[in-house]
Structure 1
Amino acid sequence: MNLDGLNDCQKRAVKQTEGPVLIIAGAGSGKTRVLTNRIAYLIDECGISPYNILAITFTNKAAAEMRERVEKVTDCGSQVWVSTFHSTCVRILRRYIDRIGYQTNFTIYDTDDQKSVIRDACKKLNIDTKMLKERTIMSAISSAKDEMISPDEMEVNAGGDYNAKRIAGVYREYQKTLKANNALDFDDLIFKTVELLNRDEEVLEAYQERFRYIMVDEYQDTNTSQFRLISKLAEKYGNLCVVGDDDQSIYKFRGANISNILNFENTFPGAKVIKLEQNYRSTQTILSAANEVIVHNIGRKSKKLWTENGKGDKIHFRIYEDAYKEAEGVVENICACVRDGWNYNDIAILYRTNAQSRLLEEKLIVRNVPYRIYGGINFYQRKEIKDILAYLKTIDNGMDGQAVKRIINVPRRGIGATTLERVQEFADANDMTFWDALCNAAEIPNIGRGLSKIESFVTLILGFQAKKQFLSIRELTETILEDTRYMEALAENETKEEVEARQENIDEFMNKIISYEEQTEGDFSEMQTDRENPQAAPTLSGFLEEVALIADIDNLDQDGNHVMLMTLHSAKGLEFPIVYMTGLEDGLFPSYMTIMSDDPTEVEEERRLCYVGITRAQKELNISAAKTRMIHGETQMNKVSRFVKEIPENLLEVENHSYGSKKSAISFGGKDSSESQGHFDFRANAKAALSRYGSGTTTYGQGNKKVAISGQKGIGSAYATNYGRTPTNYGTGNFAQPNKKVGFGKEFPMDIFDLKKPAKTTTSYSMPSKKAAGAIKSSGQAAGGTGLGYRVGDTVSHVKFGTGQVLAIEDGMRDYMVTVQFEEFGTKKMLAGFAKLKKQ
């Protein structure tokens, strides 16, 4: 077999076929190539039957890729068992699970099935799921199974912890129900396979004989149950080869146990350790930076990446005044790269949290740069953002039937599909909107018990509409989240990590609102003499209009040439010629929670994540930080991330774009300028951030105006919303009238809640009649002084909507509002700055 294409260390790894072997494969060191050649070497050179080889990966995609590569390098490759952990276990259990009391035709329960069983178990044990959340119980059971902990062991481990004991009781009932239903959940697949191998010597021996040579990829990501499975199968022959990189262990939150790889030699005496340190991906400068960062971790195996690719350019480190300037700067640099000949798909933007994508997406859209969110969803398409926008649209005018329908049962209000169908039929028959039909629900035939639920929903929205007159958009949104208990409802059905991610997105949405209000108020103050422009002040309609113009543009081009945006976790295993790592600030990356943790391994995990990000870059690495960033609605001063300061200054090319700063203002390995001037109180900032997860108290503010927001304490506080009711001056005193109704903690005139009042509709209903189609009225503005490059009547083109004719050009709040009749998409109104229309 020809191994000439491998370096010396790779050849050693391929040829070391006997006994336990640990291959420490650094980033970009060609580990997949080593694994596939090792399988081929076993078959072609050592005469091992492919039937006796097991290769395990973590994902179906990785398994398919390895299977394909093995088939290319050896004729018998298709006979090798290449699979994921869970697929391997399913195959074993389908054949032998009857040995431990199940039928081989067992069912695999999904998340909804699991929740249903847990709900029933809680009911049986008189546990209130409002006090002890279903997802909390599910997460605890899943973690227990990952650690091979039974219900009895969980109960013993609980000690005097009352809730832990109750969860152990639910776990016991849960397992009884699964057994009675001949069902397994996803975690059981490995748990029960290990149990089977422990209890049945015949089955164990059969698989030990079959899998005489075992290989495991991404070993640093294994949990306890996966470790036990592999150890059991390899126990007889000991020919276990694991491949991984402890420096890329970044999935602790999913149960990954880094000690599996760190303690491999102790677990398997006589193990050979082979390090793959030659990198084929990056320049030496990039690798040197990665080496200098990761060396600060204590819990790791010593290694140092090197390459023959050449030194390469210095790493570009740019510090900006704020997050908006950072996003603008990143996008401007991307445009410059494209002008220099790079393709969009050569470029990736990495960030620590999903919420950071919002500003980047908006700036990319403004510059017409095509992009894609890898492993995620565009910011304005995320569920929680669409839900809040639907509430705001409904409150604004109620004309958007889709928005009303989206949130009528968010959170759940028990308004059934049949009831909603009757409302829609009533609306259609009487030529009214869905919202107007809801307001007149008492007139709908056979509405039944749904009437009271609809009236409660309408009352809620009417209350918000009344509050809209007195509240800013920010305060209104806070009130919506508080009065609907939106975050608490999410916490009932999602994990802590999922809820925290949604909370971060909502926080970023609040930042968007505050930014809009501040910018619009700034514009308004400059236009104080413009008495004829009342729309210059921030309005809900104006905000929704601005968001719609951003969110509606589909920037995924069809040829696949787009910039990739992703979290650092999603970036693992990928590579790009040019990489931008954003938000390199203490408090964001690493986070306040991590820095303030008593567990030093938390910061080490974050440092490994930084190492992963750095080593994604092939040719050029750009890192950036913002001097100020809006966090939970407040503008905070941040210092440069400790990870940046761990990179030697001689590897960096520093550009300081913050106001009044020079390159020398950044000190590496010491304090930065903001800290030395006393602007950054880290403990205070950390305390404020931690309060989200403790007392639930935080603040939102604009400039010097701050509003205290208090969340719910007590049960579920980890998930409690930080949005509370904002103190205002329109409370119980302002509507002290005899004719009033109390709702939502405030008092309003009774007539706004009078659902029987016909308002815009009549009490006499009939079948719909056709209305005359309204013609589009052009402003007649010639746009002579606009500088847009086109006039009313001109033919223009748009990146998404194609060709159309300009019908009107009007002065907007901050930009010209252009109305265009597109040939394929109909009439669209858009801001000229966002539309980027070009005259044909």
Structure 2
Amino acid sequence: MSSVIKKTKGPCAILAGAGTGKTYAIVEKVRYILQNKIYPPEKIVCLTFSNEAANALRSRILGILKDDREPAVKTFHSFCADLLRKYGEKIGINPDFKILLPEDAKIILHKNFKIQPYYCHKYTATISTAKDLGISIQDLQEYIDKNPHEDLDKKIEDLQFKLKTFYLKDYDREEKRSLSDTLEKLEKINNLSKFVKAWRAYEKIKAARNMQDYSDLNSKAIILLEKHPEIALEYKYVIVDEFQDTNKLQFDFLKLLAPEKNITVVGDLNQSIYRFRGAYKENFNIFRQYFQTGDSDIFTLAKSFRSPNSVLKTAHKLIENNYSNKQECFFVENAHNRPGEKIEAYELKNAKEETRKIIEIINKELKKGTPEDEICVLFRTHQQSRLLKKSLEYQNINYTAVASRSLFKSPEIKKVLDYLRILDSIRNNKKGSDNPWWDLFHSSGFSEEDLLRLGKFLKDNRDMNNLGQLVLDEDINLSEQGKIKLGLITKRIKSLLPPEENLPKLILRIYETLGLDPEQDKESMLCMHKFHELVQKYSQIESHNLGDFLHHIQIMENLGIEIEAPSAKESGIRIMTQHATKGLEYKAVIVSNLAQKRFPMERINSNSLIPAEISPELKPLLSEVPEAEKDYIIKEYETANQLLEERRLCYVAFTRAKENLYLTYALDYGNKKHYPSQFLNEIDYKKNPEISFVQDLDDRYEEPKLSIKPAASEISKESPKIKFSPSSLLLFDECQKKYEYKYIYNMPEPKPVSWEAIKLGSFVHHVIELGIKNNYRTENEFILLAKSEQAEEEWDFIELDEALPLIKVFFERNRNKYNSSSKTEINLSANISGLNFIGYADRVDFTPSGVEIIDYKTGNSYIQPKARNWQLGFYALAAQEKYGKVYKLTLDMLKKEKPLEFILDEKGNATESGGRMSFNLHEVKEELVSTAQAILGCYKTGFKPCPIEKNCDFCNEYVWGL
């Protein structure tokens, strides 16, 4: 350690194993520099990655300073921002710039350019990655220009049309494959062109609003130092912590910041777990080349002051699998040669039993005196932890979790948003306030009977221009207690109706009107303060208008942007993901879900649009590869690198343990068989002398008790009148509580994120229906009809460029099928086993072979077999009663390569035409009847929530409160 600390001239690389005291080494190096007056404190820069790490390091360094002068201890982004505020005018940057967060960048793309949420995420991720890799808009434009195609949209539309109608012609596999390959290449170029266009527009908005995003801070600091190298001379020594997490741009910045090459970088290649954020794996090698380091400039810290040898030996056995030459992976041992207790590994029957075992381990640790906040349970994803959280609550074990809940879903803020939406709808005479009214009623303590009446009132009047005013004025038939509660709500709303110009003041008025006392509950207080700050920030930057603010919130919800609710919990069992635990340590660590496909995860999530041919990482790999093999090479490379990163993540998890390490996995998750993680096999978990393996296949999990209320008397009266539909049965099959809230309490449907796609589908259905009713026989008639309908106010927002290709595909596929006897939008009802069923089919054609029932699908999503079978099966059962023999059932999926057609035989077997799928009509009938009977049973006994381990979003929010 002494030689590491005294190396203050020239480059120095410290390869530090987990827990080997790298922070201590940094602090001691700074102390040595200051004590020996090698450089003054203000000339030293210490850079790291997170604010928490920077603050921790700064507090340690402050303790060794002799006067007010101190080194710059900051994150890369913060230090670059300071440079730009101080010197940015030299390169034309306004020093008062605002920093644009990634979430705000998504909002800009969605709000200003109507880019769909999926692409907002993809575009912002690609912009950030491109900038971090030093790839510019011009680089992408040059790539596009090398692949020129005139009338690209027209060529893509023509190819899509050919592929979607190819099945109508003689089948030629080679021709089809050629068409598919050409289409894929053109779509890649087209998608890239659209992205570049959006990126240019995004940069213009940023410039107009004086904004810099995170990647700009690095890239523009580089431009600043390139044009004004004298600025770097103000700093004499640079220290970089967690160097393995630097991206290419940050390394380029370091080269300019340390022109005299007085730099120390500290890191652990085995803990590089941020490749998905742009961490560049070659930076250590590039550092050695650029700074010309010799063996005397490279140091290893291999004595751990954290983990015992049992953990360190096992972690080493795991991570050496990342090295082709295992000799390069140096062994880290405990500094005091502490052997430690054996690691305990448990095999459990299923996810519930794994949760039971984790709680047993927690109780064992608590019993032997381990503090709650020294016990940490690690999961690969947040979703995997929900069952444990609920079980800990049930057993009254305190816990605290990273990213535990959304601010907008906390009860007090949800209620405030309901009031804001209701006020906005009444003030501006808007439709569509049934959702906030319903939410408000269900959180206000009304009786079951009153909730039923209020839900029915909202449903019956939801299309009224001003539903809110109607609720205020109408005398709704409620119980006496219900009238009092409703009177209190309407009184509050009336008091808030006079417009309040200042939006933050309106929020405070709502807090006061609702009696939300910030002092009563610390967590509520923190949530209310955070929401008020959000409103203040929005008002200062954007607008004071309530409608604009609510539109902003809606965009955030559409984009899936969640603001974390502050937590007042400071003690308790720690629950977090492996990524979140980096840099932390605990006496007892439990690594859960060590099953293949759960950890390591095998799905590759690449959110980047950057062509592999210009990626600095992939470009050398692909330079000599034939075009036909590139996709395979890229996939193999990404798969291999993901596994390396997952293994490093597992290494990080193991080496958080100061004393005891526990490993758990189940053989079954969600009724799907799982095998032990390959990481367990790599550490030889059944025979390793450092590991005690126990197979615990008992069924001893204790279900959290949940009282299921019997149905209210008014609900029971309704049950004989029910008409079942395939969609309602599928909803019940998916989630009983979701069915209950929708069909009994009349919970309004939330506006879907893909609203535009739904409206497009409605328009295409509308045009097809009119065209068939008029018996149009040419494509041009349908096109003219679409243009005529789109000119009407009801459909003027529809993009014809999206609608016409679907209409053309429909016509080509169906031109010889429909005729003047065809029926459209048919109401199909049937009484099956004494139960009433109802549904709607898009079209019925009458042919010599029998009836064909056709349903159009304009989306691109996968249709589950059960949903398909129940829908088509019901059509057949109902149509048989009404029209006689049914011989064909068709889902005409206009965005797919061909329709899905089932031929029905005399025995009720429906077999896919030209395919392998099938179902039986009699079996479908039994499934429909048994599901309907189960619903009737729930009307009497109550509707059950989904099991926690199912991770049902609806039950997590409305039942389990997760």
TM-score, length of structure 1 as denominator length: 0.59
Letter in 1 for 2:311: I
Identity between Structure 1 and Structure 2 (%): 27
For residue 344 of structure 1, report the CA deviation from its aligned partner: 2.0
For residue 720 of structure 1, report the CA deviation from its aligned partner: 6.4
Partner of 1:273: 298
Q: Deviations over 1:253-308 (max 9, x none)?
A: 11111221244212320351111110001111110001110011027953211012
Q: Does 1:655 align with 2:690?
A: no
- For 1:132 and 1:402, how far apart are their aligned partners in 2? 25
Contact 1:415 1:450 in 2 (8 A): no
Corresponding residue SS for 2:322: coil
Q: Does 1:75 align with 2:61?
A: no
Partner of 1:336: 364
2:588 alignment partner, one of 565, 578, 592? 578
Corresponding residue SS for 1:285: helix
For residue 329 of structure 1, report the CA deviation from its aligned partner: 1.0
- For 2:194 and 2:425, how far apart are their aligned partners in 1? 29
For residue 421 of structure 1, report the CA deviation from its aligned partner: 11
- For 1:119 and 1:405, how far apart are their aligned partners in 2? 21
- For 2:40 and 2:59, how far apart are their aligned partners in 1? 18
- For 1:252 and 1:415, how far apart are their aligned partners in 2? 50
- For 2:432 and 2:340, how far apart are their aligned partners in 1? 64
Contact 2:273 2:648 in 1 (8 A): yes
**1:192 and 1:658, CA in 2 relative to 1: closer, same or farther beyond 3 A?**
same
Letter in 1 for 2:23: T
- For 2:658 and 2:869, how far apart are their aligned partners in 1? 52
For residue 719 of structure 1, report the CA deviation from its aligned partner: 11
Partner of 1:568: 578
For residue 131 of structure 1, report the CA deviation from its aligned partner: 9.6
1:213 alignment partner, one of 222, 237, 245? 237
1:145 alignment partner, one of 119, 131, 139? 131
The number of residue pairs the alignment matches comes to 564
| Paired residues for 1:694-773 under 5 Å | 725=867, 727-728=869-870, 731-732=874-875
Q: Which one has a larger percent helix, Structure 1 or Structure 2?
A: 2
Q: Does 1:182 align with 2:205?
A: no
Corresponding residue SS for 2:603: helix
Contact 2:400 2:571 in 1 (8 A): no
Partner of 1:297: 322
Corresponding residue SS for 1:728: helix
- For 1:348 and 1:120, how far apart are their aligned partners in 2? 41
**1:317 and 1:197, CA in 2 relative to 1: closer, same or farther beyond 3 A?**
same
Contact 1:422 1:444 in 2 (8 A): no
- For 2:61 and 2:272, how far apart are their aligned partners in 1? 26
- For 1:581 and 1:279, how far apart are their aligned partners in 2? 20
1:227 alignment partner, one of 236, 248, 251? 251
Contact 2:236 2:258 in 1 (8 A): yes
Corresponding residue SS for 1:593: coil
Q: Deviations over 1:555-577 (max 9, x none)?
A: x996x441111111111111111
Letter in 2 for 1:377: S
Partner of 2:559: 493
| Paired residues for 1:664-679 under 5 Å | none
**1:593 and 1:135, CA in 2 relative to 1: closer, same or farther beyond 3 A?**
closer
Partner of 1:610: 650
**1:211 and 1:582, CA in 2 relative to 1: closer, same or farther beyond 3 A?**
same
Q: Does 1:100 align with 2:91?
A: yes
After superposition, the CA RMSD in angstroms is 4.7
- For 1:25 and 1:280, how far apart are their aligned partners in 2? 12
**1:175 and 1:659, CA in 2 relative to 1: closer, same or farther beyond 3 A?**
same
Corresponding residue SS for 2:63: helix
For residue 109 of structure 1, report the CA deviation from its aligned partner: 3.0
Contact 1:280 1:309 in 2 (8 A): no
Q: Deviations over 1:380-428 (max 9, x none)?
A: x698xx79xx9xxxxxxxxx9979987999xxx9999864898789999
Contact 1:594 1:603 in 2 (8 A): no
- For 1:406 and 1:173, how far apart are their aligned partners in 2? 35
For residue 185 of structure 1, report the CA deviation from its aligned partner: 2.1
- For 1:322 and 1:641, how far apart are their aligned partners in 2? 15
Corresponding residue SS for 2:667: strand
2:45 alignment partner, one of 54, 75, 82? 54
**1:407 and 1:154, CA in 2 relative to 1: closer, same or farther beyond 3 A?**
farther
For residue 439 of structure 1, report the CA deviation from its aligned partner: 2.6
**1:104 and 1:420, CA in 2 relative to 1: closer, same or farther beyond 3 A?**
same
Contact 2:429 2:465 in 1 (8 A): no
Q: Deviations over 1:37-95 (max 9, x none)?
A: 11111111143111211111212222222222112123147421111111111111112
Contact 1:90 1:189 in 2 (8 A): yes
| Paired residues for 1:387-786 under 5 Å | 419=430, 435-441=455-461, 446=466, 493=559, 560-593=570-603, 598-599=637-638, 600-630=640-670, 635-648=671-684, 649-658=688-697, 725=867, 727-728=869-870, 731-732=874-875
Partner of 2:20: 29
| Paired residues for 1:354-393 under 5 Å | 354-373=382-401, 375-377=402-404
- For 2:555 and 2:193, how far apart are their aligned partners in 1? 25
Q: Does 1:109 align with 2:97?
A: no
- For 1:135 and 1:191, how far apart are their aligned partners in 2? 21
Contact 2:431 2:467 in 1 (8 A): no
Letter in 1 for 2:281: I
**1:48 and 1:318, CA in 2 relative to 1: closer, same or farther beyond 3 A?**
same
- For 1:14 and 1:278, how far apart are their aligned partners in 2? 16
Letter in 1 for 2:677: S
For residue 586 of structure 1, report the CA deviation from its aligned partner: 1.3
Larger Rg: 2
**1:718 and 1:435, CA in 2 relative to 1: closer, same or farther beyond 3 A?**
closer
- For 2:654 and 2:136, how far apart are their aligned partners in 1? 41
- For 2:299 and 2:413, how far apart are their aligned partners in 1? 63
Corresponding residue SS for 2:370: coil
- For 1:405 and 1:73, how far apart are their aligned partners in 2? 49
Q: Deviations over 1:445-469 (max 9, x none)?
A: 7559999xxxxxxxxxxxxxxxxxx
For residue 139 of structure 1, report the CA deviation from its aligned partner: 1.7
Contact 1:133 1:491 in 2 (8 A): no
**1:119 and 1:619, CA in 2 relative to 1: closer, same or farther beyond 3 A?**
closer
- For 1:719 and 1:225, how far apart are their aligned partners in 2? 38
- For 1:564 and 1:723, how far apart are their aligned partners in 2? 38
Q: Deviations over 1:314-342 (max 9, x none)?
A: 11011011111111011012112222222
For residue 112 of structure 1, report the CA deviation from its aligned partner: 6.1
Structure 1 unaligned blocks of 5 or more:
1-9, 123-127, 391-399, 452-487, 503-553, 661-699, 703-710, 739-744, 746-810, 816-830, 835-840
For residue 121 of structure 1, report the CA deviation from its aligned partner: 7.0
**1:414 and 1:167, CA in 2 relative to 1: closer, same or farther beyond 3 A?**
farther
Q: Does 1:173 align with 2:159?
A: no
- For 1:367 and 1:74, how far apart are their aligned partners in 2? 48
Letter in 1 for 2:247: N
Corresponding residue SS for 1:256: coil
Letter in 2 for 1:582: S
2:354 alignment partner, one of 326, 331, 348? 326
Contact 2:345 2:691 in 1 (8 A): yes
Structure 2 unaligned blocks of 5 or more:
148-188, 472-553, 606-634, 700-732, 736-753, 762-801, 803-857, 883-890, 892-940, 946-958
